[in-house]
């Protein structure tokens, strides 16, 4: 099963992708996580990506597409995956479709987690991330047992630089301009599914499970 998560920054794509990944045993592939791991390790890719991420802009398609195609060619992705944060532009979607078509394959579901802009700033300013294991929390909606400490690995949590309100505004603009057109793109392909992302995260997940089952 090949699933794509669509939605604004902070809509809950990562949260839902992780739950899908656990329930269905599919790898969770997040281009944002791959970029952040590269930044943390000081790689050339990380240095290049950071320039764009800090501004709330998209990393160029050429670079992004290459790392994504490399990732989904790994053996663990053979039976499917959940893509979180990719594609984010029409050209990225076209490259993915072409690669899948060459393998006689296709995207099964594109799930749009719908959350209006008004809710997003609140979500992002409360998001806390673990740079060691990638776990995500929220100070109100998904708190850790001990404040500021990852439940899964014990590392300290951070507020991502790009989750500060100034950058979130830029990211929302980028989303509406470059990413939102993908909703229509996948609708035309007949694989689009919409879920209300404003309700409790377990309720959102229940809606997704009924779509996938």
Positions marked catalytic? 13, 88, 127, 160, 171
* Range in contact with ligand ADP (rule: CB under 6 A) among 12-20, 102-110, 143-151, 186-194: 12-20
| 127 touches ligand ADP by CB under 6 A | yes
- According to CB under 5 A, which one of 69, 73, 133, 199 is a site residue for Zn ion? 133
- According to CB under 6 A, which one of 48, 100, 126, 191 is a site residue for ligand ADP? 126
Report which of 2, 77, 1, 71 is spatially closest to residue 31, judged by C-alpha positions. Answer: 71
- According to CB under 5 A, which one of 3, 72, 83, 150 is a site residue for Zn ion? 150
d(CA 58, CA 16): 22
| 111 touches ligand ADP by CB under 6 A | no
Which of ligand ADP, Zn ion, none does residue 133 bind (CB under 5 to 8 Å by kind)? Answer: Zn ion
Per 3-state DSSP, the chain is made up of helix, strand and coil in percentages (nearest 5) of: 50, 15, 35
Number of residues assigned to the chain: 213
Residue 180 tokens read as: 């939102």
Q: What does each C-alpha distance from 39 to 14, 52, 53, 76, 195 come to in angstroms?
A: 19, 12, 10, 24, 32
Nearer to ligand ADP, 109 or 137 (CB): 137
DSSP, collapsed to helix, strand or coil, labels residue 139 as: coil
Least separation in angstroms between residue 17's CB and ligand ADP is 7
φ, ψ for residue 113 (rounded to 5)?
-90, 105
Report which of 24, 54, 58 is spatially closest to residue 182, judged by C-alpha positions. Answer: 58
| 134 touches ligand ADP by CB under 6 A | no
- According to CB under 6 A, which one of 6, 15, 20, 112 is a site residue for ligand ADP? 15
- According to CB under 6 A, which one of 3, 6, 20, 53 is a site residue for ligand ADP? 53
Residue 171 tokens read as: 């990211």
Nearer to ligand ADP, 59 or 72 (CB): 59
Q: What does each C-alpha distance from 107 to 68, 112, 134, 174 come to in angstroms?
A: 15, 14, 25, 24
Q: Which residues bind ligand ADP (CB under 6 A)?
A: 7, 9-15, 31-32, 35, 52-53, 56-59, 64, 85-86, 88, 92, 123, 126-127, 136-138, 141-142, 162, 171, 197, 200-201, 204
């Amino acid at each position: 099963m090949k699933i794509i998560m669509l939605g604004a920054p902070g809509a809950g794509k990562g949260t839902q992708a992780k739950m899908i990944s656990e329930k269905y045993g599919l790898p969770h592939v997040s281009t944002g996580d791959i970029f952040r791991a590269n930044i943390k390790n000081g790689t050339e890719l990380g240095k290049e990506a950071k320039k764009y991420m800090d501004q709330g802009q998209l990393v160029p398609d050429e670079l992004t597409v290459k790392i994504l195609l490399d990732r989904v060619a790994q053996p663990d992705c053979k039976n499917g995956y959940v893509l979180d944060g990719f594609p984010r532009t029409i050209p990225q979607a076209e490259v993915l479709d072409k690669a899948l078509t060459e393998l006689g394959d296709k995207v099964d579901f594109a799930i749009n987690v719908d959350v209006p802009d008004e809710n997003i700033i609140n979500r992002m300013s409360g998001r806390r991330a673990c740079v060691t294991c990638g776990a995500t929390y929220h100070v109100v909606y998904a708190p850790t047992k001990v404040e500021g400490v990852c439940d899964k690995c014990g590392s300290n949590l951070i507020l991502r630089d790009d989750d500060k309100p100034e950058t979130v505004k830029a990211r929302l603009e980028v989303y509406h301009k470059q990413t939102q057109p993908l909703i229509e793109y996948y609708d035309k392909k007949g694989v689009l599914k919409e879920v209300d992302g404003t309700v409790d995260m377990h309720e959102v997940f229940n809606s997704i499970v009924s779509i996938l089952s």
